[in-house]
Structure 1
């Protein structure tokens, strides 16, 4: 039976990297967590430890279709979406639908339940930026018909739809722009830089960098990201807020750090730069500091050590998997 005193939250994309960590965070706060995922990129192993709990339930459902959740809801977190280029280039239509139809369905659900909704946007809406660091008032430099347009424009539409519901229906909405995040439960073969570099280093292979490796990224450890998202949800700001780590590093330096931490004998190998790969990515988090009193606490080195230790615990077959492409712009 529903516990009337326990807050209830729906988390879409619950079996994914960030979604699963958010489930853990709200379980710790004694929320009743309703996870939802169609498992197109998520993995039930990420939330298997939660199924035994009486305050967790799971729906295998595609939010691009009508969403129904019985009982009251206090909050909705919309994290359902492919987030890696290797995924959204493979399933472009589904990516656009989850950002548009899925967002519309969940905004409607939140309105019907009088719930506050937080949508997960991305630093990718800034495109290949002309300014650095990127602050929330920068409108971005995005090609809507480029290879990454399906993801970028899905997220830009998501922000516009969410803002329209806030302005027209007075719905309580929150928008978080998530910058590069890493940590346990990231798929080794999802094509992003850190898991790819770690897998290659642990296998003793050359680490593959595109272009000259001077592209910069700013990596936030997952526990910091989750805490930032938690604060955005419970804060009072309805306009977008960047959550990320402003500690900027180029990919050459990142690869060398991973080789050093893993004590691998791997070398660095360069390949042709992908189309429209952003040259720079660094968040301006002054808004999060001012409004939420939030900033990252875990250093990149400490985060890498934790992440590498996690990957070392995976079955050897996971590390042996080599059938993937690598896109180092995420």
Structure 2
């Protein structure tokens, strides 16, 4: 039997949603290799709904993802059964990784996403990446107005510093912050990540863990799997490049012993560890295959003791991966501050 969904409250006053969501980037972009055909994606969505994995995460940057989810909504009539999150901020058709979080762009981007999804309201709308030259107060004012207009239900921030978050919540409540977080990358727990986890907890903001499996490192066959044509990770991500991949594959192979001891897969153990971190933590693993969708979902049945959580944490303290999670030139996107409001 599939695992029953673990439901958690999204932020201080948010709704109950599955702690394990579904990231849709990989199904609609070629970053992880060939994207899925229309019908394959529809089957993935169908199975996610059957399981109860109804917290879906997309973005206006994920190829045709918004439009495709909109087609599924229209085809099935099941919009009301999905808690849909989307993101904006990287300029569509702009320069590489150009960001715009201005008042005007926020309003325009939301209208485009509503149209693409074919919905009247987006459940959770994130600023994907802030522009440092735009005060966060300006961005939040636009998001608050969109909320008041009924176009979005909850406000989210992504890739911001704790200082930016603190300024944001003075304008309007923030339900969630989406950030890199996994047993492989725990920078938000300390000063290197601006103590973002502590700030979220102090302010009653949920943490939605992007890349909860290290972009595919925490999988049973990492190191053995041949790279699919079009997969950008070996070119883009240091941990996947030849000088680091062999060492990292050995670490994952060693970690497999802990998973076997627990009677689960490497990915299930990684997700279980993440969900163990607190009732304010959510994970959005992405996949293109129904078998991995189901496998990830069943991680909710893996219950860790405090001692087991510490053992897993200690393993990666003693066996850190080689290479940073992002290219050095992109590192500054992770915890962004914005200029002060005049």
Q: Same fold (TM over 0.5)?
A: no
TM-score, normalization by structure 1: 0.33
The structure richer in helix per residue is: 2
Higher relative contact order by CA 8 Å / sep ≥ 6: 1 or 2? 2
TM-score, normalization by structure 2: 0.32
